[in-house]
């Protein structure tokens, strides 16, 4: 079950993936040091918890290349670790090839969506782009996972709350 914000293109994409032996998901944000590596960590923990880790391949990447090779932001790692998540991803930039590699490219906000649409090579690539919060159920009104980089602790907590909600909605939709 997906919520009312999910458009028919996203529902078609989800339905086309349901029977697939392995589903490859790429989470994308601006810098790949706060939101998308946290999304990756949340989703990896969820699939492990539900015993379906072997059906998923999960990665993350950034629109920009400023932090390539870096661990996630220290603040993101601290807040995630309080929820039992260890974030060890090393930042990398999105590449056009990713659209061929992954089944779904999950953006954190509408700027990410626009940047991804610019990088998509074909209409098929474009169809793989979805918005993280479209799968949120408890935060049903959320339009984005807001960039926490210039925020305080509550910004990082909000990111994790939105990601736990949205990733659980996404996984339920896919399984």
Minimal distance, residue 31 CB to ligand 4NP, in Å: 3
Residues 6+ apart with CB under 8 A from 74: none
Q: Binding pattern to ligand 4NP, positions 130-159, x when CB under 6 A?
A: -----------------x-x----------
Q: Binding pattern to ligand 4NP, positions 11-50, x when CB under 6 A?
A: ------------------xxxxxxx---------------
Residues 6+ apart with CB under 8 A from 78: none
Nearest Cα residue to 101 out of 159, 59, 65, 153 = 59
The answer to whether 137 and 3 are in contact (CB under 8 A) is: yes
Residue 133 to residue 122: CA distance in whole angstroms: 24
Using the minimum distance from each CB to ligand 4NP, give the nearer residue, 162 or 173.
162
Using the minimum distance from each CB to ligand 4NP, give the nearer residue, 33 or 174.
33
Q: Binding pattern to ligand 4NP, positions 69-108, x when CB under 6 A?
A: ----------------------------------------
Using the minimum distance from each CB to ligand 4NP, give the nearer residue, 93 or 149.
149
Minimal distance, residue 145 CB to ligand 4NP, in Å: 8
The position carrying tokens 């914000």 is 5
Minimal distance, residue 128 CB to ligand 4NP, in Å: 20
Minimal distance, residue 62 CB to ligand 4NP, in Å: 6
The answer to whether 19 and 102 are in contact (CB under 8 A) is: no
Residue facing ligand 4NP at closest CB distance: 31
Residue 5 to residue 3: CA distance in whole angstroms: 6
Residue 123 to residue 150: CA distance in whole angstroms: 35
Cβ atoms < 10 Å from Cβ of 60: 27
Chain residues that interact with ligand 4NP, rule: CB under 6 A = 29-35, 66, 147, 149
């Amino acid at each position: 079950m997906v919520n009312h914000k999910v458009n028919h293109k996203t529902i078609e994409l989800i339905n086309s993936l349901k029977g697939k032996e392995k589903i490859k998901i790429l989470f994308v944000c601006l810098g790949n040091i706060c939101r998308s590596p946290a999304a990756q960590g949340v989703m990896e923990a969820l699939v492990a918890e539900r015993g379906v880790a072997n059906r998923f391949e999960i990665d993350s990447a950034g629109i920009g290349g400023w932090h390539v090779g870096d661990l996630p932001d220290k603040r993101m790692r601290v807040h995630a670790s309080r929820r039992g998540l260890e974030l060890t991803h090393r930042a990398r930039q999105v590449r056009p090839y990713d659209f061929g590699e992954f089944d779904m490219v999950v953006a954190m906000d509408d700027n990410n969506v626009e940047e991804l649409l610019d990088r998509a090579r074909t209409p098929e690539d474009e169809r793989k782009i979805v918005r993280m919060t479209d799968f949120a159920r408890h935060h049903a009104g959320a339009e984005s996972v807001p960039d926490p980089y210039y925020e305080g602790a509550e910004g990082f907590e909000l990111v994790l709350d939105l990601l736990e909600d949205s990733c659980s909605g996404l996984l339920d939709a896919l399984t």
